[in-house]
Amino acid sequence: MSIALSLGNNLTTGGIFKPTAVNNTSVNNVTDFASITGDATLVLLSTQTASASASISFTTGIDSTYDEYIFKFINIHPQTDNVYFNYNFSTDGGSNYNVTKTTTYFAAEHGQDGSGASLAYNGSADLAQSTNYQYMFVNTASENDQSVAATMHLFNPSSTTFVKHFITVSVGDSTPNYVYNIRTAGYCNTTSAINAVDFKMSSGNIDDGIIKMYGVAKS
């Protein structure tokens, strides 16, 4: 009877629990919780730090274990001013980075002085059935306090049935004193498994920066 009265006193006339119905914010003496469906879990697989590096390549860990891989780029800083940060893929473990790709590219920009604000597709920066490296970021600035941050998603790279899709989103300092938000996307036009990815500048080294590779745990 007392339990029923207590329960009733904590209900509104519409049958909704009052805020006072929940008055304990701690969980004690619980040894296990039921599984909860939510966002996919990221599993950190590899971290590489640039130090005057000609390129940074991920040649292991890209396999059928995960259906999606995510790369995080932190403070990518070039040795040379006004260069492009590029990427390409491999089907032979990194012996060659020459996968045929079709891509699209667009960017938003804004100058420190308020000039040049724009959002536009750039047909000269994309690829059409090309084995060339794709731009992730352009006109990368090399001043000591300037860098690029970005994310890349690579989907189902081990499929031997479908082409392999990818998306990149980047933001950074560009010469002369512009901020760019650049997005690229496309597909590797191959049914061979993609098992390595390479990142490099169009000229000079990657002077500094961190790249992390995650696998997205399968549900």
User: What pLDDT was estimated at residue 79?
Assistant: 95
209 pLDDT higher than 60: yes
User: What pLDDT was estimated at residue 175?
Assistant: 84
Q: What is the mean pLDDT of residues 38-54?
A: 90
CA Rg value for the chain: 24
Inter-residue contact 133 to 127 (CB < 8 Å): no
User: What pLDDT was estimated at residue 138?
Assistant: 93
Q: Tell me the whole-structure pTM to 2 decimals.
A: 0.81
CATH number of the domain at 42-216, please? Answer: 2.60.120
Q: What would the DSSP string read from start to end of 101-130?
A: EEEEEEEEEEETTS---EEEE-GGGS-SSB
User: What pLDDT was estimated at residue 71?
Assistant: 98
User: What pLDDT was estimated at residue 78?
Assistant: 96
38 pLDDT higher than 60: no
User: What pLDDT was estimated at residue 5?
Assistant: 52
Q: Within 10 Å of residue 187's Cβ, how many Cβ atoms?
A: 16
Asked if residue 19 has a cis previous peptide bond (ω within 30° of 0), the answer is: no
Question: Does 14 or 155 have the greater pLDDT score?
Answer: 155
Q: What is the mean pLDDT of residues 8-17?
A: 61
pLDDT digits (tens, 9 = 90+) for 152-189: 999 999 999 999 999 999 999 988 889 999 999 999 99
44 pLDDT higher than 60: yes
pLDDT digits (tens, 9 = 90+) for 73-116: 999 999 999 999 999 999 999 999 999 999 999 999 999 999 88
Q: Within 10 Å of residue 24's Cβ, how many Cβ atoms?
A: 6
